Amino acid sequence: MNNELVIVLDFGGQYNQLIARRVRECGVYCEVRSSKTPIDELKKLEPKGIIFTGGPNSVYDEASPHIGKEIFELGIPILGICYGAQLVAYTLGGKVETCSVSEYGKTETFYDKSCILFGAVKDLPDSDTSWMSHTDFVAQVPEGFRITAHTKNCPAAAFENKERRIYAVQFHPEVNHTAHGVEMLDSFVKNVCGCKGDWNMKNYAESVIGQIREKVGNGRALLALSGGVDSSVACALMAKAVGDRLTCVFVDHGFMRKNEGDEVEAAFKDWDLNFVRVDASERFLSKLEGVSDPETKRKTIGEEFIRVFEQEAKKIGAVDFLVQGTIYPDVIESGAGDAAVIKSHHNVGGLPDFVDFKEIIEPLRMLFKDEVRKLGTELGLPDYLVWRQPFPGPGLAIRIIGEITREKLDILRDADLIFREEIANAHLDRDINQYFAVLTDMRSVGVMGDFRTYDYTLALRGVTTSDFMTADFARIPYEVLEKVSIRIVNEVGHINRVCYDITSKPPATIEWE
């Protein structure tokens, strides 16, 4: 790709990938790189700007991640956020100290609108809400810098050296709670870095299709097709790139939602491609017998997927490439660079050490979910595929807490179908970005028809999100939840209690396992 590039240097903060997501919203391509990336490597990338992220450490601790002064001599615009702002001050001779009063959450912030970050924001008032999360603060800005924002307890909530194009903010503009935060980032990448904003899915599709053609050449590729939006978009890209040298293999592992295997097959029956459906339900279920640990589930499923694909590739003949619909959040949560492993996605951290393919192609690896949907529309995919409810590769196996059995799978399929039906009936299916049921491993006492019951508790989960990196619980009307609960308890055996999950991400993840 030849797009304008902004680099986010990762210092370990929880919102690092969200910064990249927000920059892309501004039409500028952005990648996250480790703070340990050598300066020469950064120079070769020729970024238009560099953003330092937040992080949990204190800059005056020797064990904390730091950066050399030479990065400030490259002439590349720099924006420091939170820890990144403190790092700018500390490295260039300012003072960073522990706050007498820490700031967390929504904070009234007073802006100097002569600073281009704030002055270019339309209708920004003199004071507005920003999102703070810090126990240290910049007590003295470096020589040549001036303060451009403050709060009641933070004298340097933002500061700048306009001549050197170095800017810093103590708050988090990438978080929705900061009013006009994305517009501030837009001002940095457009007005400071000089980016025109050439990142869009039309250009991306053209670029990636060309790269795939060059890589695959006269070879053959096997695509792991689940029927979800990610693998469907990957399928459309690959079909345009290599045509009939692509074979799509849909592995029915037995953990699909009710009737979903048949629905996936029907969705692709009219496509001009080689489609193979493999019933591997017995195989997967036997591999997971007695397994209750979620990481073990994911990794077992990930390895078994590969083994099935290897077997199918041998039936087809010489297949060099395995194609997956891996997207950026999968990579991040599976642990990338300095990031912690949140959970191993079956197609990333869950892969076995040995894979019998020449190479794995992941054309969506650097895209967020909403970008994948935009790309799908750009490629001409129908709405029912582009807006299909997200479904994890391991399927219901990670929506059953504890050991998986056929009985539990049947219970969950029926309950999940009712939940999805009622959400659709209430015309909420496009407002809630992901919704599903989870069969917990907890049983409790109930009463039905004057008889005591001791059955499972079912949890319902619904979230709203723009990027699946952060999410809030969906405010589903009580009358809808009530109808779902009544139907499930009356129509599905072995469930006598229904709960609704009202936890955001973070601290929770969207899936339970």
Q: State the SS3 of 121-162.
A: CCCCCCEEEEEEEEEEEEEECCCCCEEEEECCCCCCCEEEEC
Q: What is the pLDDT of residue 94?
A: 96
Could you report the per-residue pLDDT of 91-144, keeping only the tens digit for each? 999 999 988 788 888 999 999 999 999 999 999 999 999 999 888 999 999 999
CATH 3.40.50.620 residue window(s) in the chain = 201-386
Cis peptide before 173 (omega within 30 of 0): no
Could you report the per-residue pLDDT of 422-476, keeping only the tens digit for each? 999 999 998 999 999 999 999 999 988 778 899 999 999 999 987 777 789 999 9
Mean pLDDT calculated for residue range 63-88? 95
CATH classification (class only), 5-192: alpha beta
pLDDT: which is higher, 363 or 314: 363
Is 427 annotated in the active site?
no
- Give the C-alpha separation, 469 to 448, whole Å: 41
Q: Which of 4, 160, 174, 333 is catalytic?
A: 174
Helix or strand holding residue 248 (H, E): strand 246-252
Q: Which of 150, 172, 345, 346 is catalytic?
A: 172
Q: Which of 82, 115, 154, 248 is catalytic?
A: 82
Is 235 annotated in the active site?
no
Q: Does domain 405-500 have CATH number 2.102.10.10?
A: no
Is 62 annotated in the active site?
no
Tokens of 346: 């079956």
Q: What is the CATH number of domain 201-386?
A: 3.40.50.620
- Give the C-alpha separation, 235 to 382, whole Å: 13
Q: Which residue has the tokens 């050296």?
A: 161
Mean pLDDT calculated for residue range 379-395? 86
CATH 3.40.50.880 residue window(s) in the chain = 5-192
Radius of gyration of the chain (CA): 25
Q: What is the pLDDT of residue 338?
A: 46
Mean pLDDT calculated for residue range 47-59? 94
Instruction: Assess whether pLDDT exceeds 50 at residue 211.
Output: yes
pLDDT: which is higher, 157 or 369: 157
Helix or strand holding residue 453 (H, E): strand 451-464
